[in-house]
Structure 1
């Protein structure tokens, strides 16, 4: 049976309406973004955000509990802890293997230790994680940027933790990294995203593609590809940027909110 086409003007009117609803501070508390919202120092925000985004799969309550576990270990001062992290701290973390055997599902205490070590190395060379995500002039999205970050981050002390840093070159949608970038890069007056990375234009952002955003995108006629991979990210980019070129990632609020809350309405006009 041939799928009916939808009126895209109506689709984007609906998406903007839903984005306005879900891009609101009321939704912070139960979302992983609530973790970096506990901090005011730029580096604390970006470190806690990066670690939280890394484990952001599955039940959101479980994600928040797991993120809390990491914050407890870092004495709720991520940047200060990273700067002063020593081999003694690493041995202590390893000694607490029963407590840290699993930080969050397959993200183990050993993975956490690798991440801490690599973050310390980065902050010895850069003031901000932003410097590792910069988009070059001839690039239209984060495809190469994310791979450059991955390569640098895993240059040393990678171990098996490399599986927790997605590779766009292997066609991953890199959902968690794209979500993290939205948090750090997007700027508006709503108070949800931070917009603390001033050297990256938000027009390069893509929708963090997961089961919710992808399924709603297909239902709305915005995405045809059946796999949730980087090719699907770019297909959705082409559609969204026609209507929302300066701030494409704002529609993540709509697509994710509609997917999680099963908030698909019958407002769409068929043509």
Structure 2
């Protein structure tokens, strides 16, 4: 398929999947329950963190997390006491358990009290920085507070060649704003042109079939290759093609 044909094909798929109906079956429905900026971004961050495995289970456990935060995530994070975290003890999603969840609450409190919140903590600080470095630096900030080693695996480090699928998905949710009603576009200080496509099994396989990706592993090197090719199709909003790749893979078994 020539580049012009490929762009037309993928643009059509973006229109097909990037609409409010998509929200009904996607974990992005969790942050859509909220209206306050900080509630949306915290709900989105926690949901993205456990977004691997069965989608129905991801959604169910994300709602459970919101209930444990009294459906007021920002207020809970800022004002909780140690005793409030005891209610978390039965929570588990795959390898993310109550120890990790309790740690994320403490680390998020640290991010909001000492680092200006998630928007600032994940910002690209200068022209020489990319989200690869920004995510690496964010991980360091997140674990500045006392923590158990086991929890560190739940935030990926792109500088260790991780594709960081979940945090890139979270960034897409927060930064993109195309008025379609799916992504939030809350973070005005971030630029959608800098975003990377959340790379997983589905999007990776479709990208390879379309010759957008040659590398066989789903790591940061593969992500950089995919980014480069998606930017040729739309340099201002390359990550809109996540809808096309995901939709083709999950819904159309392309």
TM-score bracket, normalised by the shorter chain, equals over 0.9
| Alpha-carbon distance in structure 2 between the residues aligned to 1:150 and 1:157 | 13
RMSD over equivalenced CA pairs, Å: 1.2
Q: Partner residue of 1:224?
A: 214
Cα contact 2:139–2:157 (8 A) shared by 1 = yes
Cα contact 1:140–1:204 (8 A) shared by 2 = no
TM-score normalised to structure 1 length: 0.90
Q: Partner residue of 2:63?
A: 68
Q: Which structure's CA Rg is the greater one?
A: 1
Cα contact 1:117–1:157 (8 A) shared by 2 = no
Count of aligned residue pairs for this structure pair: 253
Selected match of 2:95 from 106, 111, 133: 106
SS of match in other structure, 2:124: coil
Q: Partner residue of 1:214?
A: 204
Question: Cα deviations across residues 129-180 of structure 1 (Å, max 9, x unaligned)?
Answer: 1001111333463110110111100112331110100011110000000000
Selected match of 2:180 from 190, 193, 203: 190
Cα contact 1:85–1:120 (8 A) shared by 2 = no
Change (3 A) 1:18 1:167: same
TM-score normalised to structure 2 length: 0.96
Q: Partner residue of 1:78?
A: 73
| Alpha-carbon distance in structure 2 between the residues aligned to 1:212 and 1:118 | 31
1:134 aligns with 2:129: no
| Alpha-carbon distance in structure 1 between the residues aligned to 2:193 and 2:238 | 6
Q: Partner residue of 1:169?
A: 159
| Alpha-carbon distance in structure 2 between the residues aligned to 1:168 and 1:154 | 16
Alignment of 1:5-84 (within 5 A): 6-84=1-79
SS of match in other structure, 2:214: coil
Alignment of 1:116-131 (within 5 A): 116-131=105-120
1:156 aligns with 2:151: no
Cα distance, 1:127 vs structure 2: 4.1
Structure with the higher helix share, 1 or 2: 2
| Alpha-carbon distance in structure 1 between the residues aligned to 2:138 and 2:126 | 17
